Structures are given as C-alpha cells and as structure tokens.
Amino acid sequence: MITAWARGLTRHRAGRLLAALAGIALAVALIAALGSFLTASKATMTQRALRSVAVDWQVQVQPAADPNTVLSLVRTTPATRAALPVGYAHTTGFAARVQGSTQTTGPGMALGLPDGYRALFPDAIRTLSGSPNGVLLAQQTASNLHAAPGDTIGIHFPGIGVRQVKVDGVVDLPQADSLFQTVGAPAQSQPTAPPDNVVLLPAGKFASLTHGATGVTTQIHVARDNAGLPSDPAAAFTSVTGAAHHLEARSSGTALVGNNVGAALDSARQDALYAQILFLFLGVPGAVLAAALTASVASAGGERRRQEQGLLRLRGLRPTQITALAGLEAALIGLAGGLAGLGIAALTGRLAFGAASFGASAGTFAVWYGIAFVLGVAVAAGAVLIPALRDLHTVTVADTRKEAGALSTRNPWWMRYGLDFLLLVCSWLIFRASSGNQYALVLAPEGVPSLSVSYWAFLGPALLWIGAALLVWRLTLLALTHGRPALARLARPLTATLAGTTAAVLARRRRPLARSVVLLALAVSFALSTAVFNATYKQQAEVDARLTNGADVTVTEPPGARIPPAAAGTLKVSGVRHVEPLQHRFAYVGSDLQDLYGVRPDTIAQATSLQDAYFAGGTAHQLMRKLAQRPDNLLVSVETVNDFQLSPGDTVNLRIQDARTKALRTVPFHYAGIAKEFPTAPKDSFFVANASYISKTTGSDAVGAFLLDTGGTHQKQIAAHLRHQLGTAATVTDLTQTRGTVGTSLTSVDLAGLTRIELAFAVLLAAGAGGLVLALGLAERRRTFAIATVLGATTRQLRGMVLTEALILAAAGLAGGALIGWALSEMLVKVLTGVFDPPPASLSVPGSYLVLTALAALIAVTAAALNGIRRAKRPPVEELRDL
C-alpha cells in the first residue's frame, strides 16, 4: 500500500511535492550556507588576529629578577616556539651634527636586539634606507635629527652621559604602540603614544653603551606556536590568556606578560559576536520565511489532502495507516528537500567562495550541514504530518467534503485579541529602551574576561516583523471582506460581467489570498532590510576608512617638521586634482592635552568628505563658513563640550606652543559648534580651528599633513610614486591601504560574502512567495474554473479572474513588504549601531537590487497566473472527470 501511495503521489501530485520540496531546500540551503560561513568567518578572524601581531608576548623581567632564569622559564612554557631577551634603556635625548648645524631631541628609548631578532619577528621592524642590521634609527628620530645612514649621533643615557654611535640604517616600527607598552599597566594608564625618538642597537653594543646607566630593563620577546588554538576567537582568547596567567604564576612574581596576541584576539572575539548577531538578525528570518513558504505550499493543497483522507477513512483505513501515509509524504518532502538544500548550499559555497564548506573545517562544516538537514525534516513534518494528524482528530468525514473556507467563518483568535497591535507596541517600547543612551548590544563588563550579548534587543525587530505581518494579514482580510464593491470595480476591466462574481470569489477565498500576500510581503521585507543593511554597512566602512586616512592619499609630515603650505605644489603629481594642507598641533585646555587641527575652511571640502553627520550645531557647510567669517571660532569634540560644560559662544582659552619662543601661549577661541568626527582626528577629544588664526597666533604655518584628492582613482599608484619621491621624509598612506587596516576583523572577513548568500536567497524567496503559492492555489481551483466555464464564462473572463487575483497579490504584497522592510531597516541599523563606525547619517538603498527583487516577484506571479490561465482553458468535462 505504501509503495502504491508513493507512486501515486509522485505521478499525480508531482507539482505539489516539488513546490514543498523547493521550500524545504531553500530553508536547508540558507541555514547550511550561513552557518558554515559564520564558522569560517570566525576562523578567519582568529587567523587575521594572530597574523596582525609581530611579537606574541612581551615578558617584562621584574627588578632584582635574573633575566636568564626568566628566559629559561619562558622557553619551557608549552607552545613557546622561540624567545629572545631585549634590552630597554631610557635616554634623556639625542644629538647630531649634520651639515654644520647641531640638532637635538627630547627623551626617547634605546633597544638592544639580539642576533636573529629580525628573522624571528619579521613584522616588528621595516627597513626604509641603509642597512637592515647594526645601529638603526626610527624614521621620526632620523627626521628630527636630519640624520641619515653614515651619520654619527650622540645618545644621552642617564647616569653615564653621551655615547656616540654611527647610524647604519633608518627603519619604521609598525607596531610601536605594543613594542613600548608598559607591561602590566591597565589600558587607561598606558602612554598616549610611543616615544618619538628611538634607536635600535645590537645586543652587544647595547650592553657596552648602557653599562652603569640607570633605567635599563629587560623584556623577553616570545613567538608562540598558535597552530593548536581553537578557531573561535573567544575560545582562542581564553586559551592564550590562561597560558599567560600560568606563566606568571610559575614565575613567582619575577615576570609579567604583555599579552599582545591576547589583545588582538580580544578585539576579534567582539567582532565574532557581532558576526553571530548578524547571522541571527539577517539569516534566521530567511530560514523562518523559507519554512513558512513550505507550510504555505503544503496548506495550498490542504483541501485536497483532507478529501483524500476522508476517502481513505471511508474505505476503512485505520488512523495508524493514514498517519503512516501522511508520514510518507512528509518523509519524501523532508529527505529529498533536505538533500537538495545541502546540494544548493555546497554549490553556493563552491561558486562564491571556492569551497563547498565555505572555508570552514570539515567537522564544523558537517555539523552545520547536519543541523540544517534535521531542521529541514522537522519543517516538512510540521508542514505536512502535523496538519494531517490534526485533521484526523478534529475533522469528520462529512467535513472533508466541504471547502476549507466553509469549515469556519470566525476570525482567528489573534485578530479578536489584537495580538498584532500588541506586538507592534511592545516592539516600539523595546526599541526605544534598547537604543537609548549608554546602550550597547555587545557587553564587555570591566574586569570580566568574557563578553555577552544583550539578546533582549533582538525582540524589537522580531516583534516588529511578526506584528507587521499580522497587521498586513488583518488589513488584507478586512479589505477582501468589506471591500467587495471596490474589488468589483477593479475586476470589471478584466472580467466584464463576472466582476461581481470575481469579487465574491476573492472574498470567499480571503484567507488563502491573505496568507499569500503576507508571505510575499515578508519575503520582500527580508530582501529590502537585508539589502539596505548590507549597503549601509559597506557605505560606513568606506566612510570609516576615509575618516581615518583623511583623503584618497595623505602625506603625513613627521612631528616637529617645519613644512610650509607652499610645499603642496611639489605633491601635485599626475592624477592629483587638489592638495589641501592640514595643520596638526597640540593644545592644552585646562590640564587636558588634545589634538588641534587647523583647516582652510573655504577649500578643505575639496580634498576630503565632510558629512553633516560629523557635526552638531550646524551643517558641515555652515560650520566651515563660521570658521571663515570669524577666524577665532572653534569646533570642539562632544567629550570636551561635556567635560567643560561649554555653551555656544563661550570663550575657550587654549595653550599652544609658540613657534618663536617654544613656550606655551594662551590663545582665546570662541566655541562655535561640535565636531563629532573629523578626517585624521582621533575619536575622542580634539579641536578644529581656522589655520590662518593658528598661524598668526603661534608664528608658524607648519603643516602636519597634506590631503590629496585623486578623484577616487589610482590611489595606490600615486601613493607609490610619492613614497619614491619623498623617501623617508614623510609617511604616505592611501585609501586602499587604510580600508584593510582600520576596519574591524568583521570588515576584513568581507561582509560581501554574507551579502551574496543572503541576497541571492532573498530573491529566490520573493519569487517563490510570489509565484509558487499562487500557482498551487490556482491549481487547486480547477474545479471552480471548470464549473464557471460550464455556466457560460468565457476564456477572457476566466483570464480576468486569474489576473485580478494576481494583481491584488502583487500590489498588496509589494506595498506591504516595502513598508515592513523600511521600518525593519531603520530599526536594524539603530539596534546594530555598534557595527557601524561612525553611525550612518542616512540609510544606503541599493536601488538596482531592489528593482531586481521586485521584478523577480512580478515575473513569478505573472508566470503563475499564465499557467493558471492555461489550465483554465482545458475542456470542462475533461477537467471535472479528472477531479
């Protein structure tokens, strides 16, 4: 019996089975693809974090401890690949006599590097000129002393005086912040910047030069074997932190660990949590929608299934046998759909990422594929088996001969109790609470090594999605129930004299049609919200890179350099449209030292992007005009305004170094507005002022950086040309280089991968929701069309009936989806504000993709309508005989 039933299903109900199978396949493929991508992304974050560290550990040997003993202890620590001792000595200054003039600098540091250091830690030092070995000067120190390879400099050591050395090379220290960290000190007490003056010495020369000097310490620089770390950043962070604590415990207070690799993983684990949040926010709704599509497809054949069940019961089949037959259909759909979904996911991974596993390890890849398959089978059981069991216990054989719409005329319970309105109100309240002041989706409590997610914030978008769907359902039912005159007028151009009948049929079938409208609206809203979020994220990643770099290409002068604005002419090489000088000084407000940027208000916007969202108290154009009209006006960061309780127009006295006397001079400014962000500025406290006023009051027009506008093209080539032209005299950075370094590791993983997966499935879901359910609904109504034909309906009138239903479905579904998608996009971007840096001034709407999604839905609806029209043309006698 089971074999015959299965054969009959595949022969006579192939369309219905394939439609349900497609829904299951979409759900399984989406979960498998997103889950594998999430796991691979976390592993990539871990690897990127590990590669970003030049020295894994810096073990500080404590005073009175024996460095050799600590070195032996470090080398015997598990997973230690190599360890070398590095000497640190404070200097009181440097001096050099070059071309007849003597140059001096302030305090700095001297490091003693053992043989093999650069081979073991290749990313710690980058040679700019001269020899890679011997006495090496940091770039800024060489610039301050006007020294080059071959020159002799003097190093002032406390307690022993000056020692002369010959410079062999000039180098850059890419990770100077960690190299000169105060090991064991909390982050807030770390120096704000590494020392300006640094010299690197061979270990032997360092020992002889610093003999008898005070302030000499030793660090053990450690390279770790990180191959055995977990792929998840959070687990890897826990592992390396535990290893560092274990070493400190074994050292009995003789060593402190500066855990650089732990710091990198600490940042990556927060990004991994955001990646997980994006998976939940953007992926789970798609999977739920695919499951709902499957359930809707199954319910489209519910009336036929009830009739078949009634026939089986009349012929004497026991409930267990009927359950087995329903289970067979569910198994066919679940197993075949699950396998098809896994195949689609593997193909997606192969095409988009070059691997069916999306780059995940074999174990995690198999786990996610297994989870997706099990969920697919569960959805099939919920869509087919459970309704069959419910009908078996609640529907009589006589009821199975009635149309589904005749079984109940009462409104659903959620409509009677206003559940949709309640959900929308709760969504709004939760959204207001979760997006208020001091809100953070990812929580990092002080002193707690673990991170947590405020998952309750998910309720806002989730309740909005569900509540809006139910509201669309309610409005559609009301329109179809009480809008028959309007429906008749709408149908008259297509159905002529059958307009009233068409309106009556639509009113009678309001529940299946409302379900189809809601499904299409949810699919469109999923596509719209996902596309807008991803486009906005991409937009803000670009904004962040431009804010950090300043412009397409930026030439940064070393501190203390006296480069006039006229030097911009030498930088206007081929491909550069405009060069804008930007002053960078430091100023005291009270006892607080902050960055001060001097701009030319009339031309600054020609080289860099100034968005209105960067400012408060006026637009970017208005505030630049204020600086131009009154040169002593000042733009202040939000933090400074709050700290010093400033009001517009207040006088702000800044102490700035006078270039002529080298003493601090008090310069009055007037608070004119707030600068929340500014190109090249830090994210906390800074000032923006008129460059001419700063030059006049300090006696110097020296430029800190030049911002170059290249029209958004050829940044890499122009930057390379300028590096060759300027040598070590300045630092040249370009936007393409900054994009890969300023973003979080979440950005580095490339959200485009997640985007490609989600948006492709969103289009398929919109097409399926628009066409699949309509096609099956029309197929189940062949009896209605046959009877209408027998009663005298023409082909044109039948075509009009089908097109009217398709038109209502498309118009209501697309309109509802657009409204839900817009509201959901606004809420998602606000709730996920921690992902964006800086927060967006406006949402980015990818018009071409949204047009593609709408066209896909319209094409699917049209195709379903045309197929329904073709079936309606069959001879009514033949149709009724088959039925």
Greater confidence (725 vs 187) lies with 725
Q: What integer is the mean pLDDT of 726-738?
A: 82
Least confident of 21-30, 302-311, 429-438, 573-582: 302-311
Residue 769 to residues 293, 463, 808, 857, Cα–Cα distance (Å)? 6, 21, 14, 8
Q: What angle do CA 802, 806, 810 make, to 5 degrees?
A: 175
Q: What integer is the mean pLDDT of 455-475?
A: 87
Checking if the pLDDT of 179 tops 60, the result is: yes
Grade residue 313 by pLDDT with cuts at 50, 70 and 90.
low
Greater confidence (225 vs 753) lies with 225
- Contact between 342 and 372 (Cβ < 8 Å): yes
Determine how many CB atoms are found less than 10 A away from the CB of residue 318: 10
Q: What integer is the mean pLDDT of 214-220?
A: 91
Checking if the pLDDT of 407 tops 50, the result is: no
- Contact between 795 and 873 (Cβ < 8 Å): yes
How much of the chain exceeds pLDDT 90, in percent?
A: 27
* 349-359 pLDDT, tens digit each: 777 667 777 76
Grade residue 446 by pLDDT with cuts at 50, 70 and 90.
very low
* 599-629 pLDDT, tens digit each: 999 999 888 888 888 888 888 999 999 999 9
Q: What integer is the mean pLDDT of 842-870?
A: 85
216-224/57-61 β-pairing: antiparallel
Please report which residue ranges of 651-750 form alpha helices under DSSP H: 691-698, 715-726, 735-742, 745-749
Select the highest-mean-pLDDT range: 400-404, 691-695, 860-864, 867-871. Answer: 691-695
User: Of all helices (H) and strands (E), which one includes residue 460?
Assistant: helix 459-482
- Contact between 179 and 55 (Cβ < 8 Å): yes
Q: What integer is the mean pLDDT of 506-527?
A: 86
Q: What integer is the mean pLDDT of 791-804?
A: 78
For residue 202, what pLDDT is reported?
A: 95
Q: What integer is the mean pLDDT of 862-875?
A: 74
Q: What integer is the mean pLDDT of 212-221?
A: 91
Checking if the pLDDT of 443 tops 60, the result is: no
Gap between the Cα atoms of 306 and 391, Å rounded: 7
pTM across the whole model: 0.74
Residue with tokens 């193909």: 347
- Contact between 49 and 264 (Cβ < 8 Å): yes
Grade residue 448 by pLDDT with cuts at 50, 70 and 90.
very low
Gap between the Cα atoms of 644 and 68, Å rounded: 51
Query: 203 Cβ partners below 8 Å, 6+ apart?
Result: 85, 87, 112, 113, 114, 115
Q: What integer is the mean pLDDT of 848-863?
A: 88
For residue 198, what pLDDT is reported?
A: 93
108-113/198-202 β-pairing: parallel
- Quote the DSSP letter at residue 439: -
* 60-118 pLDDT, tens digit each: 999 889 999 999 999 999 999 999 999 999 999 999 887 777 888 889 999 999 999 99
Checking if the pLDDT of 556 tops 70, the result is: yes
Checking if the pLDDT of 135 tops 70, the result is: yes
As a dihedral over the C-alpha atoms of residue 843, residue 848, residue 850, residue 852, rounded to 10 degrees, the angle is -170
Give residue 244's identity as a one-letter amino acid code. Answer: A
Tokens of 700: 């110097």
Answer positive or negative: Cα dihedral of 679, 682, 684, 690: negative
Gap between the Cα atoms of 688 and 604, Å rounded: 12
For residue 380, what pLDDT is reported?
A: 81
Checking if the pLDDT of 27 tops 70, the result is: yes
* 667-719 pLDDT, tens digit each: 999 999 999 889 988 877 899 999 999 999 999 999 999 999 998 888 889 99
Question: To the nearest whole number, what is the mean pLDDT of the chain?
Answer: 82
Checking if the pLDDT of 245 tops 50, the result is: yes
